[in-house]
Amino acid sequence: MAVCIVALFLAGAAFIAWQWFGIRSTMVHNLLTQARMIASNSKAALSFKDAEDAKGVLQSLKAEPSVVFGGIYTKDGETFATYNRNDYELWKVKPGKLQKKGASFNKEFLTIFEPIAVEAEETGTVCLRSDLVPLDTMLKNNISIMFTVLLVASLVAYLMSSGLQGIISKPVLDLAKIAKIVSEKKEYSVRAAKHSSDEIGILIEAFNEMLNQIQKRDFALVNTNEELEKRVEERTTELRQEIVVRRKAEEELAATVKKLAISNRELREFTRIAAHDLKTPVRGISILSDWISEDYAKKFDIIGRENGRLLAVRAKRMNDLLDSIIQYSQLTLTDYKKEKLDLNILVNTTIESINSPDNIEIIVENKLPVIFGVRKFISQIFENLLSNAIKHMDKPVGRVRIECTEEDDYWQFKISDNGPGIEERYFDKIFEIFQILSIRDETESIGIGLPIVKKIIEMYEGRIWVQSTPGQGSTFFFTLPKKESEEIEHAAAELQTGVIG
Amino acid sequence: MLQQNYKPVLLVEDDTVDAMAVEKAFKHLNIKNKLAHTTNGEEALEYLKNTDNTKPGIIFLDLNMPKMGGIEFMKVIKADDNLKKIPVVILTTSKTEQDRVKTFDLRIAGYIMKPMYQNSLIEMIDKIHQYWEMTIFPDDY
């Protein structure tokens, strides 16, 4: 709107200025023409020095209301004839100020000087002066008109723009406002009001349709969200319950494990004490039977002496059995010192301590590893297996081989001999407690050696098994896991003592 | 056994047969030292505290006895300035590591497993006798 007004104003001002200059030049032109006419008409009067004539010529200026003064001067500058408009008396061009030719404006008047010439000889000067009334009038009129037009145009423009605003801008701004509300407040239920059926109206319709869609989607989304949340909550509740149940089960399990561990310990302790206490009377039996045999041997017949001997043998067997029971029951990883064991050294020490007969050679085939364990138990494994091989050796030249291979998680050991071998149906039986494969009286063996080895290996979570060809020999395989024995000791300890953690 | 005055040997053993076996061994070996027999730690302490009795040159001590066992007995005498110097040899059926550790901690002079056979016992007593025979005790023992 302001732009409009400024533009109009500038246009108006420019027009007025143009007009002003135009009128001025027209005025000059007109006055000059008049001056020239008078100059022409007063040539004769001047030449003949007829002042009356000249005056009469000047009188024609009356017809021009804006001319206030007219004067004819001799070429010397002396006043020849003058004319005044009625109200104008004041100024007469002083001869001193006379000019020959020219037009000039001052604040109040336009003054023209035009030379009078007869055949190119200057004879005098005409001076005309008019007021600026037309100019003023024109200016006033034009300015008024301009302002009026400005006003009217502005009004019209204002009305038009208001109207247009109402038709174009406002709906668009409204639309923008609504869009802003939608995006800021997430209010999808608002709609733009449609006021017209033109392009704006179409835009508004499309906008509203879009909002419809958005609202629907939003609604669906919220629904799905709520649905999901509900499901998550249900599931969480389910899971929580599951956890409670599971935790309870775990606690019960832990309690049971603890009870078992305690029970194990008590059982071991009981076994040890019982076996130990049983040994005393057994020893008494043995010693007494000794004395009886010795002191009263002469009084016995051959059957008596044989019975005495059998009695002694049985007493000894019982003692050995009790010793085995004690040894077996004490196999536990707790309370025993675990250390790094270099098997090369340990096995060789064991071989030396076994003191094998000259006809049996025991050879370690390859380098043995360094493992972590209880010295007493690991030694026992090799001691029992080697003793067994020696005890049962039936060949004139006995060969026992010890070998070790490395696997990912464990070491695998192999002890093979060229002894009598074992029949396949007994492969498992030999590891059972107190199972002996020959008649009891013919052997001193209790049958605890291999079960002890098996128990020790299983304590370390390894495996033991045998391969054999009867008549040719046997090979005992066993594995010892590599895993950080600390873990095993710890886990086993928990189980044995009932102390968890 | 112990040359100068044939100091007595104190046997602390609750089992009749085991005690008889030791006595028989002494007899068989013709050991001159008197064998005093008490059946548990308490009795043994009484015997030692009794000034009528000569301080034994060696104590054969069983571990598992009623009223006061071997280890308890040892703790008492080793705390006694007068009695702590008596050498103690354990004669027991127990092979357990704990017993061995505890008794060694109490500074025993020997730990022997009671054998099943009389002959073995005689051999053992003989060896102990021959060994301790060589020791010269202080005058104010």
User: pLDDT at position B60, please?
Assistant: 97
A276 vs B24: CB contact, 8 Å cut-off? Answer: no
A287 vs B17: CB contact, 8 Å cut-off? Answer: yes
> At residue B69, what is the residue type?
G
B118 vs A290: CB contact, 8 Å cut-off? Answer: yes
Segment holding B57, helix H or strand E: none
Task: Report strand pairing: B110-113 vs B88-92.
Answer: parallel
Lowest mean pLDDT among A158-162, A224-228, B55-59: A158-162
Q: How far apart are the first and last CA of chain B?
A: 16
A284 vs B15: CB contact, 8 Å cut-off? Answer: yes
What is the rounded distance in angstroms from the CA atom of residue A375 to the CA atom of residue A373?
6
User: pLDDT at position A97, please?
Assistant: 65
Which position has the token pair 């007009």? A19
Sequence-ordered list of residues with C-beta below 8 angstroms from that of B125, at least 6 positions apart, any chain:
B22, B25, B26, B29, B31
Question: Above 70 in pLDDT, residue A88?
Answer: no
Chain B residues inside the 8 Å CB shell of A323: 95
Model pLDDT for residues A4-19, shown as the tens digit of each residue: 778 888 888 888 888 8
Supply the DSSP symbol for B51: T
Question: Above 90 in pLDDT, residue A322?
Answer: no
Q: Considering only residues A322 and A465, tell me which one the structure prediction assigns the higher pLDDT.
A: A465
Q: Which residues of A make CB contacts under 8 Å with B?
A: 272, 276-277, 279-280, 283-284, 286-288, 290-291, 294, 315-316, 319, 323, 326, 330
Burial letters A27-48, b for 16+ CB under 10 A, else e: bbebbbebbbebbebbbebbee
Chain A residues inside the 8 Å CB shell of B116: 283, 286-287, 315-316, 319
Lowest mean pLDDT among A137-141, A272-276, A312-316, B108-112: A137-141
DSSP E strands, chain B = 9-12, 35-38, 58-61, 88-92, 110-113
Region at A443 (left for phi over 0; alpha for psi -120 to 50; beta for the rest): beta
What is the rounded distance in angstroms from the CA atom of residue B42 to the CA atom of residue B44?
5
Mutation target among B14, B15, B17 for the A interface, most CBs of A within 10 A: B17
Is residue A420 within 8 A of residue A398, CB to CB? The reply is no
Model pLDDT for residues A388-402, shown as the tens digit of each residue: 999 899 999 999 999
DSSP 3-state of A84: strand
User: pLDDT at position A495, please?
Assistant: 59
Q: pLDDT category, B80, cuts 50, 70, 90?
A: very high
For the entire predicted model, the pTM comes to: 0.55
Model pLDDT for residues A156-204, shown as the tens digit of each residue: 888 887 777 777 777 788 888 888 888 888 888 888 888 777 888 888 8
Tokens of A217: 């989607």
Supply the DSSP symbol for B83: T
Question: Above 50 in pLDDT, residue A501?
Answer: no
> Which range among A231-245, A285-299, A429-443 has the greatest average pLDDT?
A231-245
A283 vs B114: CB contact, 8 Å cut-off? Answer: yes
Q: How many CA atoms lie within 13 A of B79 on its CB side?
A: 7
User: pLDDT at position A436, please?
Assistant: 67
Chain B residues inside the 8 Å CB shell of A278: none
Q: pLDDT category, A494, cuts 50, 70, 90?
A: low
Residue of A nearest to B22 (CA): A287
Supply the DSSP symbol for A66: T
> At residue B101, what is the residue type?
V
Q: pLDDT category, B68, cuts 50, 70, 90?
A: very high
Tokens of A456: 């020790």
Of B24, B94, B116, the CB nearest to A283: B116
Tokens of A24: 């001025």
User: pLDDT at position A224, please?
Assistant: 94
Average pLDDT over residues A418-427: 92
Chain A residues inside the 8 Å CB shell of B117: 286-287, 290
Q: Long-range CB contacts (< 8 A, 24+ apart) of A40-45?
A: A42/A72, A42/A81, A42/A116, A42/A124, A42/A126, A43/A116, A43/A118, A43/A123, A45/A72, A45/A81
Give, in degrees to the nearest 5, the angle at Cα A316 between A417 and A290: 135
Q: Which of A361, A349, A353 is nearest to A418 (CA)?
A: A361
DSSP E strands, A253-408 = 338-342, 360-364, 370-374, 398-406
Q: pLDDT category, A143, cuts 50, 70, 90?
A: confident
B96 vs A286: CB contact, 8 Å cut-off? Answer: no
Model pLDDT for residues B8-48, shown as the tens digit of each residue: 999 999 999 999 999 999 999 999 999 999 999 999 999 99
User: pLDDT at position A259, please?
Assistant: 94
Supply the DSSP symbol for A166: I
Q: Which residues of B make CB contacts under 8 Å with A?
A: 15-18, 21, 24, 64, 93-96, 114, 116-119, 121
Q: pLDDT category, A326, cuts 50, 70, 90?
A: confident
Model pLDDT for residues A24-59, shown as the tens digit of each residue: 888 888 888 888 888 888 888 888 888 888 888 888
Of A276, A288, A330, the CB nearest to B93: A276
Question: Above 80 in pLDDT, residue B120?
Answer: yes
Question: Above 80 in pLDDT, residue A342?
Answer: yes
Is residue A492 within 8 A of residue A448, CB to CB? The reply is no
Chain A residues inside the 8 Å CB shell of B94: 276
User: pLDDT at position A491, please?
Assistant: 59
User: pLDDT at position B101, please?
Assistant: 94
Sequence-ordered list of residues with C-beta below 8 angstroms from that of A417, at least 6 positions apart, any chain:
A389, A393, A398, A399, A400, A401, A473, A474, A475
Residue of B nearest to A319 (CA): B116
Question: Above 60 in pLDDT, residue A386?
Answer: yes
What is the rounded distance in angstroms from the CA atom of residue A412 to the CA atom of residue A485?
16
